Structure 1
Amino acid sequence: MFRAMGTPQTEEPLWQSATHQWFTDHIADDQVFIVVVEVDHEVVATAMAAIRDAMPSPSCPAGRDVLITNVCTLPTARRQGFAREAFEAVMRWAGSTGIGRAELMATGDGQAMYESAGFTVTAHPAMRATLRHHVV
């Protein structure tokens, strides 16, 4: 998943321990929904969704949306519908929240699935900066 998103691969334990702590803190959080698909006791696909708060804007008047993330499938389990199963489950949850908008960052492999669910490519791509370069 990280390679497909253009994220550098690292064995640095910091992000892994932070991820473990995040899941420990949020596994029972009703603002987060996590789906895993198992086949023969092996996790083959996942998807997550989380409610985000932000300032209201014309495109998001309530100031809340649902971020869909970590939709991924083991390479050996691709093209069998597992990612779609996980994705559709998080979309059902997102729809049940009453929030009017969902957002995600798509890879080329997933774009058609997301478009079939009503997602559109925005005119303004996501951009990121490492903030440690901006510390005063």
Structure 2
Amino acid sequence: MATIEVRKAHAGDEAALVELRAEMFRAMDVRADDDVWRENAHTWFETRLTGSAHGIFVVTENDQVVACAMGFVRDAAPSPTSPSGGDVLISNVCTLPAHRGRGHGSAALEAVLVWARGTGAGRAELVATLEGRPMYERNGFETRSAPLMRAQLH
């Protein structure tokens, strides 16, 4: 029987978090084979596993990290949907392919949502793949009419 644990990520989880991030990019049809971003992501995770602005959570199965989700508090101006300002961007919600369909992604998302509610932010936002939308909708996320747009600055 598998031992499942949902916990806050800690030192030593960085490599697994980078691999899950690469898997997320593959699911979004984004090339993720460049070592430069991986090295930078490893360092990024190292410096953000502690502190209150980032909530990074993992799901382990028999002590192996198999899924994750993270959120970070953004300094957003007050708005009708977040009257006090600020929000939480949720990202990197991913499960290794061999471990999908067991609720690990949902468990990681729930952990980050509990953390997000404790930040005092008024709303959470994320970018969803088509496959992930049903899970997010079950957790109260709605598709908005204004599409995400992006421009490369470098």
Say whether the fold is shared (TM-score over 0.5). yes
Change (3 A) 1:10 1:86: closer
User: Aligned Cα RMSD in Å?
Assistant: 1.3
CA–CA distance in 2 between the matches of 1:131 and 1:12?
19
Query: In the TM superposition, what whole-angstrom CA distance separates every residue of 1:112-134 from its partner, at most 9, and x where no partner exists?
Result: 111111100010111111112xx
Matched, 1:117 2:139: yes
Q: TM-score, normalised by structure 2?
A: 0.80
Displacement over 4 Å in runs of 4+: none
The percent of aligned pairs where both chains have the same amino acid is 48
Kindly state the Cα deviation for residue 61 of structure 1 after the two structures are TM-superposed.
2.9
Matched, 1:105 2:105: no
Task: Give the aligned length.
Answer: 131
Matched, 1:18 2:51: no
Query: For 2:110, what is the secondary structure of its paired residue?
Result: helix
Q: Return the match for 1:51 from 60, 73, 77.
A: 73
Map 1:67-86; keep pairs closer than 5 Å. Answer: 67-86=89-108
Query: In the TM superposition, what whole-angstrom CA distance separates every residue of 1:9-48 from its partner, at most 9, and x where no partner exists?
Result: 2432221121112112211121101111111221111010
CA–CA distance in 2 between the matches of 1:78 and 1:61?
37
CA–CA distance in 1 between the matches of 2:113 and 2:153?
31
Matched, 1:28 2:50: yes
Query: For 1:109, what is the secondary structure of its paired residue?
Result: coil
Q: Paired residue for 2:28? A: 5
Tell me, yes or no, if the aligned pair for 2:95 and 2:104 is still in contact at 8 Å: yes
CA–CA distance in 2 between the matches of 1:98 and 1:55?
14
CA–CA distance in 2 between the matches of 1:43 and 1:23?
15
Q: TM-score, normalised by structure 1?
A: 0.89
Map 1:57-68; keep pairs closer than 5 Å. Answer: 57-68=79-90
Unaligned runs of 5+ in 2: 1-23
Kindly state the Cα deviation for residue 75 of structure 1 after the two structures are TM-superposed.
0.6
Query: For 2:144, what is the secondary structure of its paired residue?
Result: coil
CA–CA distance in 1 between the matches of 2:56 and 2:147?
26
